[in-house]
Amino acid sequence: MRRPGTQGFGILLYVTNYTAKVSSSTSGWKFRSLNFAFLLLMAAGLTALAQVPAAPPTVTNNSSPTFTGQQPGAQSGNTASSPATSPQSPITRPGLNIVVLDPAHGGTDTGARGTGGIRESEIVLQFAMQVRRALEAQGFQVVQTRLGDENPSFDDRSALANAQTGAVFVTLHVASTGLPGTVRVYVNSSLPGGRDSSGLVPWDRAQSPFLTLSQKLGDFVQGNLAQKFRGSPGTAQASAVRQLRTTAAPAVAVEISSVVVADRQDLDRMAPGVADAIARGVAAFRPSYVVASMSGASR
């Protein structure tokens, strides 16, 4: 094994010689004491340098098991205690803070396609960018299931949502049906509720405990959309939505009509209104989410 300490000592000797030469060629007490201070500083610095690379072999050295065992223990003890006692720990606001935004389809799955070549997978990604900005302006943190032309599985997308605390899930679609210029919000239709024999909610029924909250969220979003897009329903409708079924959070599908428009700009023009309505709807839902989680915990 290389001994890093030797190298540091060599440099120290070289500097000592160099300083001595400079020192002997000059006269005067002041200069020499400055030189001495410089030498001390260099020595301290080099000693520190020599010790840095020497430390890891000490920790991993098998010949000193007591020290090796104690040091990581002491370190992990400090790490564990500091977040609990530190006054600088980030304060997490209880309740709803995160929106998991799901631009549906992507990759090889283009979704609905219009005769004019409009692809649902592209449109929803562009809508998502505007929805994200509107939600962030309302103070929400946004997590997207995809940022580019990828196609995560239904389970991947749900898993991302299910890993969050204090989140709702919004999946974005562009339909091939419906009156162009209208928007519909769907919540999952009722699922066989309850837990399985092991006491857990099965993955494919994860939405079941959240159906009431999802309906509430859906109604808030749909109500805001109806104000902007005439001909849209007033409340959210129930339907069997594959993506929502496995999502363990208040979850809605927003479906914009439609890919059959001749001019793509007809859809693009809807994006700011859709984004604003979703953000306002989620913000209006926020107090309901807090109340519901607290009563749920006390059961």
Give the sign of the dihedral formed by CA 44, CA 46, CA 50, CA 53: positive
Binding flag, residue 106, Zn ion (CB under 5 A): no
Q: Is 205 in the site for Zn ion (CB under 5 A)?
A: no
Whether residue 293 is preceded by a cis peptide bond, meaning omega within 30 degrees of 0, is no
Q: Figure out which of the listed residues 111, 114, 250, 281 binds Zn ion, where binding follows CB under 5 A.
A: 111
CA 298 to mean position of chain CA atoms:
28
Q: Which residue's Cβ has the minimum distance to Zn ion? A: 173
Site string for Zn ion, 26-65 (x = CB under 5 A): ----------------------------------------
With CB under 5 A as the contact rule, which of the stretches 23-31, 57-65, 108-116, 191-199 interacts with Zn ion?
108-116
Residue 132 contacts Zn ion per CB under 5 A: no
Instruction: Tell me the angle at which helices 29-60 and 65-85 cross, rounded to the nearest 10 degrees.
Output: 100
Amino acid sitting at position 132: R
Q: How far is the CB of 220 from Zn ion (least distance, A)?
A: 22
259 binds Zn ion (CB under 5 A): no
146 part of the interface to Zn ion, by CB under 5 A:
no
Tell me how far, at minimum, the Cβ of 127 lies from Zn ion, in Å. Answer: 12
Nearer to Zn ion by Cβ, of 104 and 254: the residue is: 104
Q: Using alpha carbons, list the distances in angstroms from residue 211 to 175, 183, 276.
A: 23, 21, 24
Distances (CA, A) of 79 to 72, 82, 89, 92: 10, 5, 13, 19
Does the protein bind Zn ion through residue 216 (CB under 5 A)? Answer: no
List C-alpha distances in Å: 64 to 2, 46, 50, 61, 68. Answer: 18, 26, 20, 6, 6
Q: Which of 119, 132, 157, 173 binds Zn ion (CB under 5 A)?
A: 173
Would you say 175 or 213 has its CB closer to Zn ion? 175
125 binds Zn ion per the rule CB under 5 A: no
**Residue 181 touching Zn ion (CB under 5 A):** no
The reply to whether 123 sits near Zn ion by the rule CB under 5 A is: no
* Binding piece for Zn ion, criterion CB under 5 A, among 4-12, 105-113, 195-203, 210-218: 105-113
252 binds Zn ion (CB under 5 A): no
Determine, following the binding rule CB under 5 A, whether residue 267 of this chain makes contact with Zn ion. no
First to last CA, the chain: 62
Instruction: Give the nearer residue to Zn ion in terms of CB position, either 213 or 236.
Output: 236
Tell me: does residue 283 bind Zn ion (CB under 5 A).
no
Smaller CB distance to Zn ion: residue 58 or 239? 239
Which spans of this chain sit near Zn ion (rule: CB under 5 A)?
A: 104, 111, 173
